[in-house]
Chain A
Amino acid sequence: EAQVTQNPRYLITVTGKKLTVTCSQNMNHEYMSWYRQDPGLGLRQIYYSMNVEVTDKGDVPEGYKVSRKEKRNFPLILESPSPNQTSLYFCASSFSFGGVYEQYFGPGTRLTVT
């Protein structure tokens, strides 16, 4: 089954404790992205990757890191989480079909930083 998987689905942590949220897709998509979703603010892109070893900042990259060592994986790293990073996070992958990029989203990771 074609899908994007994220782990963990739920995470409660404390300020400053480094964490990684994993993301994997089995569709051989070149593009992968991370978004955060907050009430009243909608979906905002954190980082994106156009291919292996190619990553770039989205709209809200501060406090986050990513890596793309393999095509299928795109982990999101919070080196020193803070309470303002409490949010619902989504990983997405996409491919270009006639110049259009349709996003396939993972199920989400709900992160709480205390």
Chain B
Amino acid sequence: TQLLEQSPQFLSIQEGENLTVYCNSSSVFSSLQWYRQEPGEGPVLLVTVVTGGEVKKLKRLTFQFGDARKDSSLHITAAQTGDTGLYLCAGESGGGADGLTFGKGTHLIIQP
């Protein structure tokens, strides 16, 4: 069974600060996806990274896929209250939609 460990589980910081959340595994993934989920809603896809070492930026969010394709990180610069939510990583093992493994998520609270 492939596992994805996300850290930290909970993070509460002040608006304007920077933060990084991590997604780690001992398994290799063909791609890795990051989702954000707000209370009362379903997860929404933020980005997919495919190539080892790949870096993608989405405004203040920077996503990186590890060189060995076993881990990923999400860095937020100058966090805003609108960034509050549950961040989920999901690794795809190449087996189709059934091959997606989700981490348990990082609960992020940005305080004004």
Contact = CB atoms under 8 A, between A and B. Distances in A.
Given A43-B88, A48-B98, A103-B100, A108 B40 contact: yes
Q: Size class of A's contact patch?
A: 20 to 34
A96 interface: yes
Contacts, number: 67
A82 interface: no
Q: Is the interface of A mostly helix, strand, loop or mixed?
A: strand
A102 interface: yes
Contact of B102 (A42, A94, A107): A42
Contacts of A92: 42
Nearest to B102: A43
A104 interface: yes
Contacts of A113: none
Interface residues of B, number: 25
A100 B45 CA distance: 13
B75 interface: no
A101 B96 contact: yes
A96 B31 contact: no
Given A42-B105, A101-B100, A105-B44, 20 more contacts: A4-B42, A31-B97, A40-B104, A42-B103, A42-B104, A45-B98, A48-B97, A50-B98, A94-B97, A99-B31, A100-B31, A101-B92, A101-B96, A102-B45, A103-B35, A103-B43, A105-B42, A107-B42, A108-B40, A108-B41
11 contacts: A42-B103, A42-B104, A43-B102, A48-B97, A56-B98, A94-B97, A99-B31, A100-B31, A100-B92, A103-B45, A107-B40
